[in-house]
Homo-oligomer: A and B are copies of this chain.
Amino acid sequence: MPGTPAEEYAPASLYTEVQQFYARQMSLIEGRGADPDAWADTFTEDAVVESAADEGPDVGREAIRASVRAGVAHIAAQGWDFRHWFGMLDVRPQHDGSLRTRYYALAMATERGGALEIRGSLLCRDELVRGPGGRGWLVRHRALVPDGHTGA
Residues of A within 8 A of B (CB): 2-7, 9-13, 15-17, 19-28, 31, 38, 41-42, 81, 83-91, 102-104, 106, 108, 110-116, 118-121, 123, 131-132, 135-137, 146-150
Contact = CB atoms under 8 A, between A and B. Distances in A.
B148 A6 contact: no
A5 B42 contact: yes
The copy count of this chain in the complex is 3
Given A5-B42, A27-B90, A106-B116, 8 more contacts: A2-B23, A6-B137, A9-B16, A9-B17, A23-B90, A84-B88, A110-B121, A112-B148
Given A15-B12, A136-B7, A121 B147 contact: no
Given A27-B2, A85-B104, A15 B21 contact: no
Contacts of A147: 81, 83, 110, 116
Given A9-B16, A12-B13, A16-B9, A86 B85 contact: no
B19 A121 contact: no
A78 to B, nearest CB: 12
A10 B20 contact: yes
A148 B24 contact: no
Given A27-B102, A110-B120, A136 B90 contact: no
